[in-house]
Amino acid sequence: MVEKIIVLENVALPDFFGAEDTNIREIRQAFPESRIVARGNEIRIQGSSPEIVKINEIINQLLEHYHRFGKVDLADVRLCLNDDSASLLRKDKDDTIIFGVKGLPIKAKTPNQQELVKQANDKDIVFALGPAGTGKTYVAVALAVRALKNKLVRKIIITRPAVEAGESLGFLPGDMREKIDPYLRPIYDAFEEMIPAEKLKHYLEENIIEIAPIAFMRGRTLSNAFILLDEAQNTTSMQMKMCLTRMGQNSKMIITGDVSQIDLPTKQRSGLIDAVHILKKVKDIGFVYLDGKDVVRHYLVRQIIEAYDRNDAVDSDKRKPTEPKTE
């Protein structure tokens, strides 16, 4: 009799084993001549070599699925047991990005959000521009969490300009994370929907998820990382260039912003606007434009955005010079 021990790392056991270990029990029933014992974060398998190889393959397939979506259900186990890993792969290709806390599916809900996912899969730098509520930051966070769960990157780095504090954060109480936390609350809210509380706390304490103001990116090379620059409309051109040139090997970056909500001093140009103009012809950089149709908040938010857009168009027409009358 041969024995194999599989150690589960970075796995929430109830989400992998299923309620009352239903997933493991299903595997046991499929291989009655082998002994499969789950204890703590170990799975101990005893049996003949061919069966152990097969069980090991099934568990590895389920682990790959878990690290992508954060959960394994009984249907996933049965697909693997029936040698139907192709169906499991097709299931993975739906519009679910990850499964969040309590199995909540995090999805790209609109065509433009789906385009953001596609661009982020295909390209290492993507700009996502659009008004509040269009889900650009939320989808970007989900993509970052997926990359971390799939071990495609070693860490997530979240940064944004703290314009409201004038980038001079020293007068605020607490350590650096506490100083910039108020400006990153929407991102924390997203993380809390996607990562269990204890694991999120661990990631933050170990700097696997790192939060830093953009001024603290200077001089660094960010390798094996998923970088999210949020509220990029409030960067200066120098800050934007500095942030973009921090990318190291095996890294991805998503830059999100809303050019209709620039808080910079009146005479200072937005680094986001400059970057879109300067980089628009670089073929390996993606650009996704979201609009009112992508708003997934309260239905009134979309109407508010559309009303402001109409008002801005009227104001723009009023400012245009009129043609002098001819006799």
Residue of 158, 164, 122 whose CA lies nearest to 140: 158
Choose between 172 and 148: higher pLDDT: 148
Give the pLDDT of residue 321. Answer: 58
Rounded to the nearest integer, the mean pLDDT of the chain is 83
Q: SS3 for 207-221, per residue? A: CCEEEEEHHHHCCCC
Q: Which fold has domain 96-315?
A: Rossmann fold (3.40.50)
Give the pLDDT of residue 92. Answer: 52
- Helix, strand, or coil (residue 105): strand
Q: Who's near 61: CB < 8 A, 6+ residues apart? A: 80, 85, 88
Residues of the chain with CATH 3.40.50.300: 96-315
Cα dihedral 242, 244, 250, 252, rounded to 10, equals 140
Give residue 130's pLDDT band: very low, low, confident or very high (50, 70, 90). Answer: very high
12-16, 137-141, 162-166, 243-247: least confidently modelled range:
162-166
Strands (E), the chain: 2-7, 35-39, 42-47, 96-99, 105-107, 125-129, 155-160, 209-213, 225-229, 252-257, 285-289
pLDDT tens-digit map of 174-217: 555 565 666 677 788 899 999 988 889 999 999 999 987 887 78
Predicted confidence (pLDDT) at residue 9 exceeds the cutoff of 60: yes
Q: Does domain 2-92 have CATH number 3.30.1370.10?
A: yes
Pull the structure tokens for residue 189. Answer: 């809210």
The phi-psi region of residue 21 (left if phi > 0; otherwise alpha if psi is between -120 and 50; otherwise beta) is left
Q: What's the rounded mean pLDDT across residues 25-42?
A: 90
pTM > 0.85: no
The phi-psi region of residue 295 (left if phi > 0; otherwise alpha if psi is between -120 and 50; otherwise beta) is beta
Strands (E), 111-265: 125-129, 155-160, 209-213, 225-229, 252-257
Q: What's the rounded mean pLDDT across residues 11-26?
A: 87
Contact indicator for 56, 19 with CB cutoff of 8 Å: no
Give the pLDDT of residue 19. Answer: 84
Contact indicator for 76, 83 with CB cutoff of 8 Å: no
Give the pLDDT of residue 183. Answer: 66
Element (DSSP H or E) covering residue 88 = helix 85-92
End-to-end CA, the chain: 105
Residues of the chain with CATH 3.30.1370.10: 2-92
Give the pLDDT of residue 322. Answer: 56
Predicted confidence (pLDDT) at residue 101 exceeds the cutoff of 70: yes
pLDDT tens-digit map of 257-283: 999 888 888 788 899 999 999 999 898
